[in-house]
A and B are shown apart, each in its own frame.
Chain A
Amino acid sequence: MTDCRSNLQRVLDSGNFAVTAEIGPPKSASGEAVQRRARLLKGHADAFNLTDNQTATVRLSSMASAVLCMQEGVEPVLQMTCRDRNRIALQSDLLGAASLGIRNILCLSGDHPRFGNQKGAKGVYDLDPVQELMVFRMMRDEGKVWGGDTLEQAPQVFLGAVANPFADPLDLRAVRLAKKVDAGAEFVQTQAVFDLDRFERFMKQVRERHLDERAHILAGVIPLRSAGAARYMRDRVPGMSVPDEVVDRMSKAADQRDEGIEICLETIERLRSIEGVHGIHIMAIGWEDIVPEIVDRSGLSQRP
């Protein structure tokens, strides 16, 4: 039988430290920007997330962007939020994704329409991300859609979820992750880590529950471009934790861009030493060009 696993799954299954990175689709009917980034980033990570109308702002669809990436020989992670599609559309899109050769699926609730450019939109939330995972796993493992109707062919996909160790209540964060792993998450990408102490506490809870043995955890990182960006994330983005030291370091730096990269590299180094962390996920939205440098300087440029 041929190996239908994704590259990302093979890397993780073989025990290698994985690298994923995010590509933000443009507000455009042209896929040129996605293809350009795919060409630029090719070989610098094991798979690339295509965000799904991030911050509830209308953009080129994640599905189309994923296909554009594949045309450039780059493996996609298709993000699928519960915000915009009910269970009919989600299941149909999963079949569609699998039929196009997309193997990695990331299930998430999605930013509330309040944050985007369609504030009057009706948020769907027919399923929540735990339920989305349950449904997708059933489709893959039992070859049935939700409710029991049999599929002629089951979608062969690697299922992922997100986790935010920095949101509240802290004690519920590992519980919530456990629910996602129970529901079918095989890989997990976390919110960006700046607050390493809190992340370590979270990972301790994760290990106590042996979740790291049941799912591959990829810790998120964001290279900071400026002190302003650090401050914005600290003060304005719900569920993000950016310690004051990080903001201070950025404000005092002679070259903020260099300092941002430096902080990112230090973070990656510490993350690599944490038991149960199986990879990193780089979110450099709008600054995707920096990814090769970060991967290279982290000593992770030899991708398996």
Chain B
Amino acid sequence: MIIAERKGLDRIIEMLDGRRSILVAGCRSCVSVCQAGGEREVVALAEALRLHAASKGMDRSIDTVTIERQCEKEWVMEIAPLIEGKDAILSMACGVGAQIMQQAFTDVQVFPGLNTEGMGAPEVQGVYEERCGGCGDCVLHLTGGICPVARCSKSLLNGPCGGSQDGRCEIDPEKPCAWDMIYRSLVRLGRPDLLEINIPPKDWSHSHHGGPRRVVRKRAVLSEEEVA
């Protein structure tokens, strides 16, 4: 899932300066699971914005909606009637959702209410950790099911670096060292031999470094007749 965090209230207020009619739009998918942009967060933020407006004597109306999946046009189009008369949409989805929103409603400016952190999972209740860097060429079979790209602070493919200590990463004792985990996992899997193999330079052209990616699934693409 996508992990995101809400921007600070001050930052959001600053972004929305001068807007009079705002739609706060959440998403019931990933950002709801990580408690950043689900219905509850949308309602709470809208309330905070209303209070702020009232305290400043601002003439400002704030509506809310929470969409099933803000990253899919079909779901987003359903809220078209709510956009009438709005001069701002505060998207409480990930960066993808916010963009689909802007793509769908080209005349109203969309503001990002969240900071999208990456792809990850809940580690324990309330703690969400990055797990995948979307490198486009997965090597998890070589690293004991632990991603060196997203989970090692230096994305080392032949780690660990000299700063790994007591299973912690050198940059932050709060963060586990990915290579310590890879080591333990490969030992458990009976594959410590994989630790001895040099992984050659990675082809980053499959990642974002090769330009924005586009996947075409031929069998799913509609033919011209079908579109018509």
Q: Do A and B come from one complex?
A: yes
Interface residues of A (CB under 8 A from B): 82-83, 87, 109, 111-112, 114-115, 123, 125-131, 134-135, 146, 162-164, 167-169, 171-172, 175-176, 178-179, 182-183, 191, 238-239
* CB atoms of B170 and A112 under 8 A apart: yes
Q: How far is the CB of B164 from chain A (nearest CB, A)?
A: 5
* CB atoms of A239 and B198 under 8 A apart: no
A-B contact pairs, 25 of them (CB 8 A): A82-B154, A109-B161, A114-B172, A126-B201, A127-B201, A128-B157, A128-B158, A128-B159, A131-B158, A164-B163, A167-B161, A167-B162, A168-B160, A168-B164, A168-B166, A169-B164, A172-B183, A172-B195, A176-B158, A176-B159, A176-B160, A178-B196, A238-B164, A238-B168, A239-B164
B180 at interface (Cβ–Cβ under 8 A)? yes
* CB atoms of A191 and B162 under 8 A apart: yes
Contacts of B204 in A (CB 8 A): 126
A301 to B195, CA, bound (A): 41
A179 to B155, CA, bound (A): 17
* CB atoms of B157 and A131 under 8 A apart: yes
Contacts of A162 in B (CB 8 A): 162
Contacts of A87 in B (CB 8 A): 201
A123 to B158, CA, bound (A): 17
* CB atoms of A128 and B156 under 8 A apart: yes
A238 to B180, CA, bound (A): 14
* CB atoms of A125 and B195 under 8 A apart: no
Contacts of B164 in A (CB 8 A): 167-169, 238-239
Do A175 and B158 form a contact, CB below 8 Å, given A112-B170, A112-B171, A167-B164?
Answer: no
Q: How far is the CB of B182 from chain A (nearest CB, A)?
A: 9
Q: How far is the CB of A41 from chain B (nearest CB, A)?
A: 25
A273 to B175, CA, bound (A): 39
Contacts of B145 in A (CB 8 A): none
Instruction: For chain B, give the interface size range.
Output: 20 to 34
Q: Which residue of B lies closest to A169 (CB)?
A: B183
Q: How far is the CB of A101 from chain B (nearest CB, A)?
A: 27
Contacts of A168 in B (CB 8 A): 160, 164-167, 177, 180
Contacts of A175 in B (CB 8 A): 195-196
Q: How far is the CB of A73 from chain B (nearest CB, A)?
A: 32
B81 at interface (Cβ–Cβ under 8 A)? no
Do A130 and B166 form a contact, CB below 8 Å, given A114-B171, A114-B172, A169-B183?
Answer: no
Q: How far is the CB of A248 from chain B (nearest CB, A)?
A: 22
* CB atoms of B165 and A128 under 8 A apart: no
Q: Which of A112, A128, A135, A146 contacts B153 (CB 8 A)?
A: A112
A30 to B184, CA, bound (A): 48
Do A125 and B154 form a contact, CB below 8 Å, given A112-B171, A169-B180, A179-B196?
Answer: yes
Contacts of B157 in A (CB 8 A): 128, 130-131
Contacts of A239 in B (CB 8 A): 161-165, 170
* CB atoms of B163 and A167 under 8 A apart: yes
Chain B positions 162-215 with a Cβ under 8 Å from a chain A Cβ: 162-168, 170-172, 177, 179-180, 183-184, 195-196, 198-202, 204
Best-surrounded residue of A82, A146, A179 (most CB of chain B within 10 A): A179
Contacts of A129 in B (CB 8 A): 158
11 more contacts with CB within 8 A, not counting A175-B195, A239-B165, A239-B170, are A109-B161, A109-B162, A112-B153, A112-B154, A128-B159, A131-B157, A146-B201, A167-B163, A176-B160, A238-B168, A239-B162
* CB atoms of B200 and A131 under 8 A apart: yes
Contacts of B167 in A (CB 8 A): 168
Best-surrounded residue of A87, A129, A131, A238 (most CB of chain B within 10 A): A238
